[in-house]
Amino acid sequence: MKKVLVANRGEIAIRIFRALTELAIETVAVYAQEDEGSVHRFKADEAYLVGKGKKPIDAYLDIEDLIRIAKDSEVDAIHPGYGFLSENIDFARRCEEENIIFIGPKLHHLDIFGDKIKAKEAAIAAGIQSIPGSDGPVADLEGVKAFGNKYGYPIIIKAALGGGGRGMRVANSEADVKDSFERARSEAKAAFGSGEIYVERYIQDPKHIEVQILGDAHGNIVHLYERDCSVQRRHQKVVEVAPCVSISEKLRMEMCHSAVQLMEHVGYVNAGTVEFLLEGDNFYFIEVNPRVQVEHTITEMITGIDIVQAQILIAQGKDLHKDIRIPQQKDIPLIGAAIQCRITTEDPMNNFLPDTGKINTYRSPGGFGIRLDAGNGFQGSVVTPFFDSLLVKACVQASTFELAVQKMGRALKEFRIRGVKTNIPFMQNVISHPVFLSGEAKTTFIDTTPELFEFSKVRDRGNKMMQYVGNITVNGFPGIEKRDKKFFTPARKPAKLLTLENGYESAKNILDKNGPEAVVEWIKNKQEVLLTDTTFRDAHQSLLATRVRTQDFLNIAEETQKGIPQLFSSEMWGGATFDVAYRFLNEDPWERLAKLRNKMPDTLLQMLFRGSNAVGYQNYPDNVIEAFIQQAAQNGIDVFRIFDSLNWIQQMEKSIQSVRDNGKIAEAAICYTGDINDPTRDKYTIEYYKDMARELENQGAHIIAVKDMSGILMPQAAYRLISELKATVNVPIHLHTHDTSGNGIFTYAAAVKAGVDIVDVAMSAMSGATSQPSMNSLYYALVNADRAPDISIENVQQINHYWEDIRSHYSDFEVGISAPSTEVYQHEMPGGQYTNLQQQSKAVGLVEQWDEVKTMYATVNQMFGDIVKVTPSSKVVGDMALFMVQNKLSEEDVYEKGMSIDFPESVISFFMGDLGQPTGGFPEKLQRIVLKDKKPITVRPGSLAKPVDFNEAKKELAEKIQTEPTQEDVLSYIMYPQVFLDYRKNLESFGEVTLLDTMTFFHGMRTGESIEVQIEKGKTLIIKLNQIGEPNSEGMRILYFDLNGQGREVVVKDHSITSTKLVRKKAEPTNKEHIGATMPGSVLEVLVKKGDRVIQGQPIIITEAMKMETTIKANIEGIIDQIYVEDNDVIETGDLLIEIKAK
């Protein structure tokens, strides 16, 4: 024998080529068109296209074309491998007719064992017990039912020419027979070319044992011991063990002897496997596989015998013992134990549906005792829906079963396969389960062990991170102009900070030791004015659209605490930072809080809390407010600055009490608007503010804040306001302002003179304009005065250098004012809103009309009755201003045409009373126009809201994110349902992108650039972008990276390019009326038509992928409303196939 053709593909073709090469025999491969890039093609000496123009499976079943190629290439023999034509007697006969050796059993044996019915007859004739079954093929549905009625259910319907779990269906009752019969027959026809089936009684909980046989033409037959193939799913073997560890030596010898007895009875030649079902100590013959088996590998490992080479040599007429040198039966060794795991591209978290796509990462295990038989398992390989999902067979051998399990565990752990889903997590669960470890696993093991399907999520950190980087590199960061990434040197960190010799007892230390009241007394006893640093929250919210990332805070947090221990507090949480972290930064704000708490244990951490709106833009039930405050306090917030966007104290009462109940500092804020020194502004007078301060003190506020959110508190007004408030209440006064007008330092100097206790400032590099006044400047403004801040200006300057450098990283978000703007005294826009509204104007195409928007903002404020403007009320004014400018509406137009205008939802909600009641009430005429026929509420919205059932909310969220949510997750979901779900989706897609440096996060990478990402202590990813490929017709680009020195490819959709590919509508997973594709593949048959009435559980469509048919059933009762596919359509996972209108 000089040349052999292998009529197969993938790993078994490669396995046979290797055996042939070792025997110095030339090799010939065949490949279907869809397999033109398959590895097996290139492993052979010659390779030829087979079945041109035919479907992928049909190509490998094209007997005449295989014979043509064999003759043209002048081969001596054909090895069929397993599956396809390996048991096809017609193929073996054609080989014989053409004088080509068929490397396998004789025609006589294929005739017997290729037909399960004849095989049973042979077994019975050889004296081996068999399972009760039909006397021959069952021709129709009635024949199956008759067998079920005679022997009882369950029964199993099998392809007569089948194997490998194909064409097998279990019917547990007569109701299951029709579908099971049709599916088994259809699969059998597709996989084996014949729809002939037979029926057997189904033994429900056996072990599946098979005995490996080798026989030669000289009458020699030996067994190579048994394999335990009980771990199965859908009748397909998943994990195999050799030998079976749970049977006695006596039972082993009985089964092996029976197998040899049968094969001697028929005079079997070549390799084959005799299969039994074992129930207790009773074993029943089920079939013979007259071919090499997928799991032959582990038998080779425990015996040292090359089964495939033996097949080839037997086909040449060699003697098992004399020529092939296989020992006599008694001398065949049994060396330890071996295990095989079939690694497939099936998704165990999605009912094992085959996955397809490109393998962008492939790293395999190795070392002593590990064997890998792979087909197309390599980086860059594309897994298609056309063939079996097997990727690689992982086999291990050790001296004992227990050691083999350990080795397999290590092998599975070393695999890194990304780009397609695999069953590796499932395999890891199987081999570590006590039942498997005991050796007692039965064929029902997988079906009856739900914990096997509880998986830890694969983190895949490197590939996910590169996917994010690739997307940003190609498409840019949302909301900013795409540009080349600049190069920055690392931000300067303080070289050496001055420290106090005897330390410093901070407000945080006092709070933790003695509680909030002690902090209040501490403040009162301080002569110097105290400072709150807003750099970590309001400063970047006001200047940089709230986009500064947690990483940039953490890098300076410890130095800030060490260098400025005298700070009253650091404002670092709440307000817009909460939802922006989720929306734009792919960050969890709760994690920001936890990390900063860890870095700054001796500093009071302060948040901005919107009263009944919490950190959202609507009113929430009281129990949500209480739960949020409790969680925030528990996680590290010490000072809650509580305000209401309309200064309605009823909206603040619950929050104040809840903060007190949690032992934290309740700082109740009065939002300043108007001008107390302007006699024409008589709505917000000095008496108004004094009355509000008294009421807040009575409500239990530890501190009263004056929240000048727009920066319109003029210096003289500040002196008067603070003086009179200090004379009115007996709690500290904390002043917050914005430096929009440029008068911030002057205002603070007046307030300090009037006796203000605490003022809000920011690092100089993050101050001024719409942010707070500069900490550095205030120090020098008050230096040598009685109430000068007690801080080290040298330390502050060093820390400020860091922020000078960091701010440049966020230059793309610098859209605020570049110089003092006294316009703020007219439009009264909050500093934190200025940059955000400017971004919104840009997004809706009004950037050129920004001045008009500002003017309209002031107009809307007066239309609304001169309201307090702070989130969320300021957002309402901003929304209305944008709406009017965009639609070219004047104030007169609104009053004249308003009944026919659809106003923004936020405006309608405001006039409904959803935010509360403004001072002086709503302007009645405008309220009627906006609400039309709706009736507004006049009570506190939270009093009408039904309490949230947290258990139900947690259950709902768990179902959506497929993991157990934390209390923090639940609270975020309640406040921002879709925003939180989008964040979780991004986290799933891109991983922990918070670990990326800021420039890469916003701008991706330059070609040739390398970055380092520390993903955990002692683990660093080195990522290099080598090349950006050209887009294809679908607008997809391949980005070529190195990850820790290994090449990786990432595919990114270039959104600037229009795709020419048909894109199907996707099913919404939470919509029960949507029926989506559960796997990629094709539509075999649509079973319904539009208008049909269907019941829940009724089959409506059949799909196929990798030779596996799936019947998709209606999940609700209803009417077929839309059908989006036809028979033979190619589909992708998640494609919307059918819509059902629920009835």
Are 185 and 224 within one domain? no
Per-residue confidence band for 163, with pLDDT thresholds at 50, 70 and 90: low
- Give SS3 for 622: helix
Range 1051-1070 average pLDDT: 80
Secondary structure of residue 510 in the 3-state scheme: helix
579 has pLDDT over 70: yes
Q: Kindly state the tokens that stand for 570.
A: 């650091």
Query: What is the C-alpha separation between 916 and 910, in angstroms, rounded?
Result: 8
pLDDT at residue 489, rounded to an integer = 87
pLDDT of residue 555: 97
Q: Taking 60 as the threshold, does the pLDDT of residue 17 lie above it?
A: yes
Are 162 and 288 in contact by the 8 Å Cβ rule? The answer is: no
Check residue 942 and give its pLDDT: 82
Q: How many domains does the chain have?
A: 6
- pLDDT digit string, tens, across residues 600-648: 999 999 999 999 999 998 889 999 999 999 999 999 999 999 999 999 9
Distances (CA, A) of 683 to 463, 672, 825, 866, 919: 59, 12, 16, 8, 8
Q: Do 704 and 571 belong to one domain? A: yes
* Binding positions: 116, 200, 235, 538, 610, 707, 736, 738, 871
Q: How confident is the model at residue 162 (pLDDT cuts 50, 70, 90)?
A: low
On whether the CB atoms of residues 849 and 841 are closer than 8 A, the answer is: yes
Residues 411-434: tens digit of each pLDDT: 999 999 988 999 999 999 999 999
Q: Is residue 459 part of a domain?
A: no
| Residues 222 and 334 occupy one common structural domain | yes
| Domain-terminating residue out of 806, 822, 850 | 806
Q: Per the structure block, which two tokens stand in for 446?
A: 């997988």
Q: DSSP labels for 1020-1047?
A: EEEEEEEEEPPP-TTSEEEEEEEETTEE
Q: What SS3 state is found at 519?
A: helix
| 286 in any annotated domain | yes
CA distances from 787 to 474, 500, 637, 757, 1064 (A): 54, 20, 28, 10, 69
Domain CATH code at residue 213: 3.30.470.20
Q: Rounded distance, CA 298 to CA 288, Å?
A: 19
| CATH number for the domain that contains residue 1109 | 2.40.50.100
Residue 844 has pLDDT above 70, yes or no: yes
Query: Which of 1100, 815, 793, 900 is CA-nearest to residue 179?
Result: 1100
Q: Give residue 1106's pLDDT band: very low, low, confident or very high (50, 70, 90).
A: low
Q: Beta partners for 5?
A: 28, 78
What are the pLDDT digits (tens) for 1108-1126? 667 888 989 999 999 999 9
> For position 70, which CATH number holds?
3.40.50.20
Residues 420 and 316 in one domain: yes
CATH classification of the domain holding 170:
3.30.1490.20
The residue among 133 and 341 whose pLDDT is bigger is: 341
Binding residues for substrate: 610, 871
- Cβ atoms of residues 619 and 941 within 8 Å: yes
Is residue 595 one of the residues assigned to a domain? Answer: yes
Enclosing domain of residue 790? 507-806
> Taking 80 as the threshold, does the pLDDT of residue 464 lie above it?
yes
For residue 1041, the cross-strand partners are: 1025, 1048
Residue 562 lies in a domain: yes
Answer yes or no: is 262 within a domain: yes
Contact 13, 83 (CB under 8 A): no
User: Quick check: is 465 in a domain?
Assistant: no
Domain-ending residue, one of 772, 788, 806: 806
Burial-class residue 347 by CB neighbours within 10 Å (0-12, 13-18, 19+): buried
Write the burial class of residue 563 (CB in 10 Å: 0-12 exposed, 13-18 middle, 19+ buried): buried
Phi then psi for residue 1084, to 5 deg, are -80, -50
CATH number reported for the structural domain that contains residue 661 in this entry: 3.20.20.70
Q: How confident is the model over 874-928, as pLDDT tens digits?
A: 989 999 999 999 889 999 999 999 998 889 888 999 999 998 999 999 999 999 9
**Among residues 946, 899, 373, which one has the least CA distance to residue 619?**
946
- Indicate if 519 and 626 belong to the same structural domain: yes
Give the CA distances from residue 627 to residues 174, 503, 588, 949, in Å, rounded to whole numbers and listed in that order.
54, 36, 18, 12
Structure tokens at 936: 């507004």
Cα-to-chain-centroid distance, residue 894: 46
Q: What are the Cα distances from residue 354, in Å, to 11, 202, 350, 358, 422? A: 18, 27, 9, 13, 9
DSSP state string for 31-79: E-GGGTT-HHHHHSSEEEE-STTS-HHHHHT-HHHHHHHHHHTT-SEEE
**Alpha carbon distance 616, 518 (integer Å):** 31
Q: Name the DSSP class of 1067.
A: P
Q: What is the CATH number of the domain that holds 982?
A: 1.10.10
Residue that wins the pLDDT comparison between 944 and 577: 577
Answer whether residue 712 shows pLDDT above 80. yes
Residue 1035 above 80 pLDDT? yes
> Do the domain assignments include residue 175?
yes
Tell me what the mean pLDDT of segment 797-814 comes to.
Answer: 95
What is the Cα–Cα distance from 695 to 700, expressed in whole angstroms? 9
Give, in degrees to the nearest 5, the angle at Cα 454 between 452 and 458: 115
User: Is the per-residue pLDDT at 573 higher than 70?
Assistant: yes
Reply yes or no on whether the pLDDT at 1060 is more than 70: no
Residues 365-401 pLDDT 10s: 999 999 999 988 888 888 888 888 899 999 999 999 9
CA–CA distance, 986 with 716 (Å, rounded to integer): 50
Closest CA to 884 of 909, 907, 914, 865: 907
Contact predicate 311/31, CB 8 Å = no
Question: Which residues lie across from 1014 on neighbouring strands?
Answer: 1020
Which residue numbers belong to the known binding site for ATP? 116, 200, 235
What does the radius of gyration of the chain's CA atoms come to, in whole angstroms? 38
Instruction: List the structure tokens of 552.
Output: 């940039």
The values of phi and psi at residue 575, to 5°, are: 60, -145
Which tops the pLDDT comparison, 701 or 1110? Answer: 701
Residue-level pLDDT at 165: 64
Tokens of 57: 């499976």
pLDDT category of residue 835 using cuts at 50, 70 and 90 = confident
Rounded Cα distance between 675 and 681, Å, is: 7
Same domain for 217 and 174, yes or no, is no
Binding residues for Mn(2+): 538, 707, 736, 738
- Note the pLDDT of residue 47: 97
Neighbouring C-beta atoms of residue 993, cutoff 10 Å? 22
Task: State residue 1105's pLDDT score.
Answer: 66
Same domain, 545 and 590: yes
For the annotated catalytic residues, the residue numbers are 291
Same domain, 95 and 188: no
Residue 746 is predicted with a pLDDT of 97
716/845: higher pLDDT: 716
Tell me if 731 is assigned to some domain. Answer: yes
Integer angstrom CA distances of residue 729 from 413, 517, 575, 671: 66, 15, 27, 17
- Is the model's pLDDT at 166 over the cut of 90? no
- Per-residue pLDDT at 500 exceeds 90: no
Write the pLDDT tens digit of every residue in 88-105. 999 999 999 999 999 999
Cα 819 to Cα 708: distance, rounded to the nearest angstrom: 19
The rounded Cα 1076 to chain-centroid distance in angstroms is 19
Same domain membership, residue 435 and residue 564: no
Same domain, 536 and 652: yes
Residue 164: pLDDT band with limits 50, 70, 90: low
Instruction: Judge whether 273 and 293 are in contact, CB under 8 Å.
Output: yes
Does residue 75 sit in the same domain as residue 213? no
Q: What is the pLDDT of residue 1108?
A: 60
Same domain, 620 and 658: yes
**Average per-residue pLDDT in the chain?**
93
Alpha-carbon gap, residue 392 to 371, rounded angstroms: 10
ω before 773 within 30° of 0 (cis)?
Answer: no
Please state which of the ranges 27-36, 566-575, 771-780, 1049-1058 shows the lowest mean pLDDT.
1049-1058
Pairing verdict, β 605-609 and 639-642:
parallel
Residue 843 confidence (pLDDT) above 80: no
